[in-house]
């Protein structure tokens, strides 16, 4: 797990940033379709959390991977694992808020959510698990 955990964290950071590029909201009205990605909505706090959390996941994964090879840097790798857990919470907060907001709105439908929201949620969930494993398995 010394090498696999940080690699999974790097992949999850990349997936979170790719999730920003995918459609978050797709609205079709009278035959016309409009979709908006996370990059298009960076004035809102939800995509900003995903952006910051994804960058932190990448940084923590790369640092833990490089320092995981050095056996004397155990404390820093544990710190990177804990930081990646917090970054995963940041990444999952925005899309889950949007999911709950759309699910409780009477005029909205869950089918209007694009795949970017779900990719970000999946990446954050996997990063949360592997961040704990990176911090614990030493």
Give the pLDDT confidence of 111-127 residue by residue, as tens digits. Answer: 788 899 999 999 999 99
Query: In total, how many domains does the chain have?
Result: 1
56 located within any domain: yes
Instruction: Scan for tokens 């030493």, then name that residue.
Output: 138
Q: Which domain holds residue 59?
A: 4-22+46-136
What mean pLDDT is predicted for residues 98-117?
82
82 falls within a domain: yes
pLDDT surpassing 70 at residue 53: yes
Contacts of 19 (CB under 8 A, 6+ apart): 38, 50, 95, 115, 116, 117, 118, 119, 120, 123
SS3 breakdown of the chain: % helix, strand, coil, rounded to 5? 75, 10, 15
The answer to whether residue 119 sits within a structural domain is: yes
117: in domain: yes
**Nearest one of 31, 36, 22, 46 to 119, comparing CA atoms:** 22
* The overall pTM is greater than 0.75: yes
Residue 27 lies in a domain: no
**Percent of all residues in the chain with a pLDDT value above 70, rounded to a whole number:** 95
Q: Is 90 exceeded by the pLDDT of residue 128?
A: yes
């Amino acid at each position: 797990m010394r090498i696999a955990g940080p690699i999974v964290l790097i992949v999850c950071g990349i997936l979170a940033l790719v999730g920003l590029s995918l459609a978050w909201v797709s609205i079709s009205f009278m035959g016309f379709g409009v979709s908006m990605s996370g990059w298009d909505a960076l004035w809102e706090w939800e995509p900003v959390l995903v952006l910051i959390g994804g960058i932190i996941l990448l940084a923590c994964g790369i640092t833990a991977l490089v320092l995981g090879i050095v056996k004397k840097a155990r404390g820093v790798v544990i710190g990177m694992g804990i930081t990646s857990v917090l970054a995963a919470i940041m990444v999952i907060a925005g899309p889950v808020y949007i999911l709950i907001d759309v699910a409780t709105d009477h005029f909205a439908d869950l089918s209007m959510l694009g795949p970017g929201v779900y990719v970000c949620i999946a990446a954050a969930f996997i990063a949360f698990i592997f961040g704990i494993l990176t911090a614990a398995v030493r």
